[in-house]
Each structure stands twice: as structure tokens, then as C-alpha cells.
Amino acid sequence: MPSVVSLFVTCIVDQLFPKVGMAMADVLGRIGYDVDFPEAQTCCGQPAFNSGYRDEARNVAEHFLRVFRESEYIIVPSGSCTSMIVHHFRELLPDNAEVGRIEAKTWEFSRFLLEVAKVEDLGARMACIATYHDSCHALRELKIKSGPRRLLSHVQGLDLREMDTAEECCGFGGTFSVKFAEVSGAMARGKIDSIKKTGASVVVSIDSSCLMQLQGALHRAQLPIRTMHLAEVLAAR
């Protein structure tokens, strides 16, 4: 078992949801890893890539490759950022040998816990009714579905209930959320209707962008339901 893992917290966690990064570091430390945070990290470039600005995205991707060159394991609290790195970097930099190495070293957080650290029970405790939202990139590009649910099943006191539209998109989609704001909002409200039916007080996901979309809509609807990143739930005692 390697002792040092590097965090790529993602720009959205760094700037808007820092507690997610702290929680992730906390959990990794608890199971025996030394956690490294390469300070020069910024972003994976997905916003530019998804908006059609390939040159700009490429520049950012190259920076990422430089920053994490020496890392053995790169842990990411996001399905969409992980997918950008492991699936789309090669489209931007098809002749760059470093890309293949980075793909092999980059792990979405929950997948790292289960497949590398081989830990399912983090000793977490959170008494609540919760429901899990499958973020799209995680579900469809990384095939992450049962893993986070297994991790949540060991959280003491947590009653996990499936919503009937767990796999439906929350409507964030990056700039889609502002370019097609009304459709995005309608999609969020559809998810919220599903969430309400579960009776959950907490919505869990592995993507902060989805959580931002859902929490924003929940708050606008004045519903007493909060969103939490999986890392925050697993860090809870």
C-alpha cells in the first residue's frame, strides 16, 4: 500500500466547497495515507473543453500534467473532473505520453477507497435519512454506481433510500446551467420532487457541481434538505 496520495481537489471545491477537500483528506488520513496537496494545482480544464475552447482547455491540461507528474496516486472528489482527465485529456493531447500515465494514476475518491485502499467501512456515523444522486459522468463514463452506496451502507445511523430518478441528470452541465437556465432549473426541480418523496434530509453525491445545483434549487424552494459530498458523510463521526 502506497503511503502518499496526492489530492486534486478541483477548482470548485477549492474556491466554493473547501470543506469537501478537508473531509477527503481527513478520511484518507484516517485509513493510513499521507496526503500531499501539490499547491500549483488549479483546474482540469473541463469548463473550457465543454464550451468548445479546445486550445484553452489544452493549455490547462498541460499544466495539470506538469503539476502531477511526480504523484503516484491522484485522488479527485469529482466524477466529472476525473472523467475529463481519464477520458478527454487524450483527445486534447493525443501524442503526449504523459497522458497515459496520468490516466492510470487518477482516481475518483470513492473508487480509490474501494479498489485501492480496499476499505468499505470508514467508521463514520451520521443519523439521518439520506438519498444518493448518481452524477452523470460518474455513472456513465466511469461506471460508478454501487460503490458509493456500499460506502454509505456502513455509515452508522444512515438510512439510505433510493429516489426514483437517481440516474437522471440534475441539470447542471457546466455552462448549460446558465445558457439554458430555465431548462436547467426545471430539471433541478424535477430531481427535487423525487428527493422529497424519499423523506430524506440529506442528498449525497460525489460531485460538488451537482450538489451546488441541487442545493441552490432546494434553498430557493425553501426546503429543509441539505446536500453533502460523500467525503463529508464519510468523515462524519
Query: Residue 38: helix, strand or coil by DSSP?
Result: coil
Phi, psi of 47 (to 5 degrees): -55, -40
**Nearer to other proteins among residue 24 and residue 158 (C-beta):** 24
Number of residues that this document lists for the chain: 237
**Nearer to other proteins among residue 118 and residue 220 (C-beta):** 220
Shortest Cβ distance from residue 43 to other proteins (Å)? 5
Cα separation, 64 vs 74, in Å, equals: 11
**Nearer to other proteins among residue 159 and residue 185 (C-beta):** 185
CB-based contact 122:27 (threshold 8 Å):
yes
Residues whose CB is less than 8 angstroms from the CB of residue 159 and which lie 6 or more positions away in sequence, other chains included: 128, 129, 130
Binding residues for other proteins, rule: CB under 8 A, are 9, 11, 13-19, 21-22, 25, 37, 39-43, 45, 47-57, 59-60, 62-63, 136-137, 139-141, 167-169, 171-188, 190, 212-213, 215-217, 219-220
- Maximum pairwise Cα distance, the chain: 50
Shortest Cβ distance from residue 60 to other proteins (Å)? 5
**Nearer to other proteins among residue 53 and residue 159 (C-beta):** 53
Shortest Cβ distance from residue 113 to other proteins (Å)? 20
Cα separation, 219 vs 129, in Å, equals: 18
CB-based contact 47:56 (threshold 8 Å):
no
Distance, CA of 128 to chain centre: 21
Shortest Cβ distance from residue 93 to other proteins (Å)? 14
**Nearer to other proteins among residue 14 and residue 159 (C-beta):** 14
**Nearer to other proteins among residue 47 and residue 159 (C-beta):** 47
Shortest Cβ distance from residue 235 to other proteins (Å)? 14
Closest by Cα among 49, 52, 85 to 67: 85
Shortest Cβ distance from residue 98 to other proteins (Å)? 16
Place of cell 485509513: 31
